[in-house]
Amino acid sequence: MRLSSLFDFIPDKTSVWLTPIWALSVGVTLGLLILLAIWGIVFLFSRQAGREAPGAMLEGPLRPIFYVMLFLAGYSLLGVVAVKEPGQIISSVFRLPLTGEVERSFDLEPSDEEQTVRLGFYREELKWIAFSANMPLTIDTRDESGEAEGGVRTEVPVGTQLVYIKGQPFVKPFVTEYVDEIRVRNANGVPAHMMVVFETAPVAGREVALIPIVALCVLGVFGLYYLQRTVMPKMSAIALATVKTEMAQPLFLICVVLGGAAIAAFVWIPYNTFGEDIKMLKNTGLATMMVLGLIVAMWAASSSIADEVDGRTALTVLSKPVSRRQFILGKYIGILWVVAVLFVFLGLVFLDCVAYKPVYDARESAAETPQWQECLQHMVQIVPGILLAFMEVAVLAALSVAISTRLPLLANFVICFSIYALGHLTPLVVQSSMGEFEPVAFVGMFLATLLPVLENFNIQAAVAGGSSVPYDYLLVSLVYCMLYATVAMLLALVLFEDRDLA
């Protein structure tokens, strides 16, 4: 019995919506518990380092992110009453490494007696099983004592597979909860070879893999900041000052509030797409996050570099033991953290809305309530889109930093948005100019070489359509983002090196 059955005031559709968010919260809680354990180990070996760690790790961008994580951790505890089968979800996480596709082969001697072959899986976890043999065989899964109902006795044909798929009506091929073995008869007079292939998955579905993945992401965020703070202390100090200054700007709060409100409003907007409104929600949500991130990045670059240069603040900072290279790189790192905090807030709202949208559409169309696994799948599908949107903003932020070393805010906005438009049009220009007028082809290739090909980060149509994004595509996009951002930062250093700050 699930805990939510004790609380009749919680509608079933609400429980379906809240379950994916609860799974996400459990992953965050697991990550925080691991961090707490690491802090305890550090405290045992060095009390001074243990006392300094909380303050060092909860400064700047990590503070608002930590507050969000605490909120989710609280929901993982209090939200148990509102989710479907919380115990089953937790137990399925531990079953993840023990499930998957298994292939086993057996050599059967000719005999009139039944022989046992060992399989080893739980009946509830079985997704499908297939039998094939080079000779006609008889398999028997019935209870030998005759006390349990169910089971089958059937022939394994030669040349084709005998397949059972979970959910087939009127079929109960196994009678025991744990299927350790089945009986097979080879009455052919010659040895036979049988192949058995089956796939198992946790009862709650493989979607529960989200929980350990989120825990690793939590560790990665804190570990990345600690690495930055340890390896680059001077640049980290400048980045920390940039984060505090830019997050205190009214524009940042406006983007968070308006962006979250807009994404939430997209749920109720009628798109008239004949049941495909969730695709429009994903598309518009990703575009909103990317545009707001770009606005915050360009504003932060102009206010923290151009304004500080014009106001002689940069001259004061550089009078200390800080080089111009450390100043520019620290500013860029700080801007990326500001955008990351924005994406955390908006991303959480976006994930919540995407999880709710299938339930809302089912209610509006009087359709059957979806399973919580379906809502979780929609959540997972948009994560690559969010990551690629952040990479695109990181590339444009690097160009904005380079422009801010010489030009003010208005020129920065005009140039960056022009690069944004041309960066998405570059593949179309190159493709349309192939084999055409040579000057047009030259201009297209020149733009493709000079400007970033931002269309590489635009997979909104694929994400909206529910297509899975390969990991190698994300890796290649990350490498391209880092390479182009590096080139842009080298340009920024060249432009800033001989800038007269006095």
> Do 448 and 435 belong together in one domain?
yes
Which residues are within 8 A (CB) of 219 and not within 5 positions of it... i.e. 6 or more apart?
A: 31, 34, 35
Which among 174, 194, 179, 182 is positioned nearest to 116, based on CA atoms? 182
Residue 132 has pLDDT above 80, yes or no: yes
Residue 272 has pLDDT above 80, yes or no: no
Q: What is the reported pLDDT for 80?
A: 82
Last residue of a domain, one of 200, 217, 248: 200
Distances (CA, A) of 285 to 76, 279, 292, 334, 470: 25, 10, 11, 25, 21
Distance, CA of 137 to CA of 186 (rounded, Å): 5
| This prediction's pTM | 0.86
Q: What is the reported pLDDT for 169?
A: 62
Residue 123 has pLDDT above 80, yes or no: yes
Instruction: Report the half-sphere exposure of 264 (CA within 13 A, side-chain side).
Output: 10
Number of folded domains that form the chain? 3
Distance, CA of 349 to CA of 261 (rounded, Å): 9
Q: How confident is the model at residue 146 (pLDDT cuts 50, 70, 90)?
A: low
* SS percent in the chain: helix, strand, coil, step 5: 65, 10, 25
Residue 324 has pLDDT above 90, yes or no: no
Give the ranges where 46-133 is alpha helix by DSSP (H). Answer: 47-57, 62-78, 86-95
Q: How confident is the model at residue 291 (pLDDT cuts 50, 70, 90)?
A: very high
> Do 469 and 361 belong together in one domain?
yes
Q: What is the reported pLDDT for 480?
A: 92
> Do 119 and 224 belong together in one domain?
no
Q: pLDDT tens for residues 4-43?
A: 444 444 567 778 888 899 999 999 999 999 999 988 888 8
Of 207 and 479, the structure prediction assigns the larger pLDDT to 479
Q: Which domain, by its residues, includes 155?
A: 100-200
Which residues are within 8 A (CB) of 258 and not within 5 positions of it... i.e. 6 or more apart?
A: 292
Q: What is the mean pLDDT of residues 180-209?
A: 89
Which residues are within 8 A (CB) of 447 and not within 5 positions of it... i.e. 6 or more apart?
A: 422, 426, 429, 430
Q: What is the reported pLDDT for 434?
A: 55
> Do 16 and 110 belong together in one domain?
no
CATH number for the domain that contains residue 149: 2.60.120
- Contact (Cβ atoms closer than 8 angstroms) between residue 228 and residue 333: yes
> Do 402 and 495 belong together in one domain?
yes
Residue 433 has pLDDT above 70, yes or no: no
> Do 223 and 185 belong together in one domain?
no
> Do 443 and 330 belong together in one domain?
yes
> Do 237 and 357 belong together in one domain?
yes
Residue 380 has pLDDT above 60, yes or no: yes
- Contact (Cβ atoms closer than 8 angstroms) between residue 451 and residue 424: no
> Do 415 and 342 belong together in one domain?
yes
> Do 88 and 215 belong together in one domain?
yes
Last residue of a domain, one of 200, 223, 242: 200
> Do 395 and 250 belong together in one domain?
yes
> Do 74 and 185 belong together in one domain?
no
